[in-house]
Amino acid sequence: MTTPQRTPTPQEQARLDNIKKAWQERRSIKQNLSKVKHKIAVYSGKGGVGKTTVAVNLATYLASRGDKVGLFDTDIDCPNVTKVLGLSEPPAHNNGKLTPSERFGVKCISMGFFQKSEEEAIIWRGPMIHNAINQFLQMTDWGDLTHLIVDLPPGTSDAPLTVMQTLPLDGFVMVTTPQILANIDAKRSINMVRKLNIKILGIVENYVGDIFGEGAGKSLAEELDVPFLGSFELRSDYRKSVNKPTVLTSATVRNEYEKLAQNLDNSLQQL
């Protein structure tokens, strides 16, 4: 005798519908990024450690050496990538797809293109940020890329969690500084990434020098058994570079990013 199938309750059906929707979104995103070889998130536990500067300069250096590079700014409420790149021309929109804007060989998508002015405050709750990130991931036609660099907002809340759960990332580059508090927050963020079973490609230490000191990033990498990718000194070169990544204007900074890229290549080869 066959047992009659029970009709799900409205709450159960809503949960099933959400699971199905999330699965369809992940499948669509995976298909849309099928021509991207490496997907790398640049992340930090604390704001103000220079994460966006690292992401933009890394992307620009990789493009300058001949790689096909995209840069996705997922900091929805405080987008800054377009300012650092000096980009103002918005992406083209054709047949339901966005064609990224491009400068210095770097294709770019950012919420900054869709603000009325750069001083406008984007006051959105978590679900709206989640939807915006998902739409960008599904609608953007990146084409063939060697690297997609994803600039994440700091912390362990909705926006970075959305990217981690929906974008099939190869791994994370964690940005920290010599200060104790920055390293504590970096450790928290690394533990979050590990809970989601995503690889840490390595740690970089920013703002190194007489003012803040140095070595905390390398010590953190040794403590957590992850690669140390390099350090960046606090230099006036960054002040001299307006609307242009500093790797294109300073040979010293370019050398630092060359070392980062080489170490990152090694981490990716070990995947």
For the stretch 203-254, pLDDT in tens is 999 999 999 999 999 999 999 999 999 999 999 999 877 779 999 999 999 9
pLDDT value of residue 125: 82
Phi-psi region of 230 (alpha: psi -120 to 50; beta: other; left: phi over 0): left
What is the separation of C-alpha 106 from the centre of its chain, rounded to a whole number of angstroms?
Answer: 14
- 200 neighbors 171 (Cβ within 8 angstroms): yes
Residue 108: the pLDDT is 97
CA 12 to chain centre: 34
pLDDT of residue 129: 86
Q: Scan for tokens 């912390």, then name that residue.
A: 155
Q: Give residue 1's pLDDT.
A: 56
pLDDT (tens digit, 9 = 90+) per residue, 165-190?
Answer: 888 899 999 999 998 888 899 999 99
What is the rounded CA–CA span in Å between residue 238 and residue 250? 9
Residue that is written with structure tokens 């905390």 in the block: 216
Which residues fall within 8 angstroms of residue 216, CB to CB, at 6 or more apart? 176, 177, 178, 179, 180, 182, 183, 205
Spatial contact of 163 and 74, defined as CB atoms under 8 Å apart: yes
C-alpha–C-alpha distance, residues 233 and 235, integer Å: 6
Write down all domains in the chain, each with its CATH number in brackets: 40-269 (3.40.50.300)
Give the pLDDT of residue 160: 86
Residue stretches of the chain with pLDDT short of 50? none
CA distances from 268 to 83, 106, 164, 170, 271 (A): 29, 20, 18, 8, 5
